[in-house]
Chains A and B, each alone.
Chain A
Amino acid sequence: MHPKTSNESLRPDSHEMKIKGLTTNLSSIAVLIAAALLLELTTAVQYLSTRNGITRKLTEMAQHDLSETNRTTLLKLDVEEFTTKMLPTIERLTANHDTDSLRLYIGQMLDKQHEIVGFDYCHVVGNDRQRNGIYIYKDDEGKCAEHSIDFDYTQRSWYSEGLKGDGFWSEPYMSNYKVILMCTYSMPVRNEQGQTVAVFGADVSMRDLSALAAQLFDNQQRSLLPIILLHGLGLLLLGFIIIRSVRSIRRLQVVGAEKERIANELAIAHRIQQAMLPKTFPPFPDRNDVDLYGALTPAREVGGDFYDFFLRDEKLFFCIGDVSGKGVPAALVMAMAISAFRMLSEHESAPERIISQMNDSMARDNDYNMFITLFIGVLDLTTGQLRYSNAGHKSPMIDSQPLPVTPNLPIGTMPDFQYALQQTTIKAGSTIFLYTDGLTEAENDSKEQFGSQRMHTIIARTSSEGASPEALIGQMTEAVHDFVGETEQSDDLTMLAIRFKLKQCDNVMELESAKRQYHLTLPCDVKQTTRLAEWIEGICETAGISPSTTMQTNLAIEEAVVNVMKYAYPNGAEGDVQIEAATDDEWLKFIVTDTGLPFDPTALGDVDTSLSVEERSIGGLGIHLMRKFMDSIHYERLDGRNVLTLCKRII
């Protein structure tokens, strides 16, 4: 329940953080690779489908080209027919050697045929015949022009092949006179004897074919464009995803680091809060009259529940509280409340006044309407008297019975509220069990609550077993855990158990075990302390007490009696001081009683014995010596009397 020690490091584990960061990086890289692969796959699918589209398109174009070829075929036939029709006239004019008419005729025919860009007329070379050829063509403006052929036309296929047969189509070649690609249809020109005397050719421009090729190339370009565009788009998308991923990874890392920081701070806050609670059990190992145990399990790292206790002059001050809400806000108020309780109860023994002062200070500036249910008890360990005040908290259990409590109001709700004081006497051997609603309202997964019945059952069982407070809380905790199972704890769970056992010393006066009883009445006069010393020395001598213990007892009782004379009866007021004494084998007990003004020496602060001469004040030595030399001092105001009980163990 409580941290045993707090030497665990409060610093975050940087090595662990690095590993976590690395893991984050690796996993983000894996995500990126997966995204890239996916994208590439998509691109591949896109590419394949695009390629199919292109293939389809190319097939279509091929078919188109075939039809183009048909068109070309038709063109060729036109040219062949046209040229063949010209041949008889050309042969006749050749036989007549009428060169001028021949030229004129060819020029006229050129105008009539659009597909033909020019005609070649070349004499056959050989036997004493020189090269002699003319080229009649359309110039750039479409007009008829003439040029004698000055290159060696015998090397051209249209010439050599044209000589042989009835008509020859050459391979496309670049024209010597025009920047065009062309084919030539050539045929032999024969004389009347049937001898070939010349070759006549018609040139056809290949512009149409060039245009077709250009169109095909353009189509291919246009088919590639969607692929390039798609790929570019894909790359853009990949880049976008990468940037987004990197950003979100960075954001995640920042959020993760922030979360880690908060978790670390909460862990530290948890330890600080646990350290505010009493954590040494048993808290009073050398006392046989009281035993207690406390446990606090917050639902979150920090919570608003608290308990506290301490012992002052035979009175056990204890409290249990529950701040409204949960988590950090409740924890802050809890810290405030527990220190207020500590501070106020140092000089104030009345629980209703402690609770009222806590209420006033909290209600005054309660902007956030936080409140605390609180129970404060002051148990007089010498008598078993319990004074208590409640501020809207659950009624504690005294053994198996709930302690009757006036509910009052939770503190923080209304300033100047008058909290009622209640009191009762706790029997020796009884156990006071305090708890917060986190116990009775603990829920299991069927939304059932642990309830007070289960709590009563466990209290009844442990009480019959005479279990210690630690055992009681241990069994209660176990029962709650069994009940809720795996369900998340919804509220802070806090328990405090106090077992009260009367000290033998306190029974001395009432019980037969007191071997001897003494009584002394002194008038209010400090000179009478001499009589007191003689009386005490007598008692101690009879009980066989050592001179040293006698001196210490003497000193403590003298201080007690002198205090009464000075402060309960100030300025020479008259009155008696009653001193009763009782001894048994173990204890020496004195009860100093007076009817003067209320005066509680135990409420005086202790002197600081470490101060220098200059700093030391004259007062406070009396109560200091009483505390040092007696085993217990206890003050009560009873029926208009100051009653101070001092006990000393004599063995």
Chain B
Amino acid sequence: MPLSLAPTADDSRTNAAFEELMWALSRPGVIRTLPASGLASIAESLLDRECSFCVLDDLDIQQAVARTGARAVSQGNADYIFSKIDTTEKVVALSGMRLGTLAYPDDAATLFAPARLGAGQELRLTGPGIKTSLTITVDRVAPTFWEMRQRAIRYPLGFDVYLVDDDRVIGIPRSTTVEVL
């Protein structure tokens, strides 16, 4: 039987998006380029009917993520959260995110947040995936977010965050220590 060995355009795009997310998380703070811009390309690569999600205040993304078949739930129950984190109110709204349990630390939320990379607040990252330390700059992230993150994370409990700027993405897993400079 002849087999078609070529991936479809969908296959290639979702595979490439995942690969970028994988390297983004493996090397926290290093900017990777997604095959398409925006949060929707991430959603189609990872989410399906087995997942739950929560989108705070963005109808376009809400519809794009819902198209994957994932269930919309409240943010305290969601596996994947898509939300801006540019104001303190939004950060406070996120403080109920799932952090996992000691037996199942993977049962925690993942946050995808729009941000601007390469300008604004300086952060120093250390931890797995970073050789010594790495200094990055991000904008459109409320300073209170980093305080909230530090309070929430009791490693291995915590949440993982990806900051997405158009088609550029960085990953900050819970294992990374973030120092606001």
Q: Do A and B bind each other?
A: no
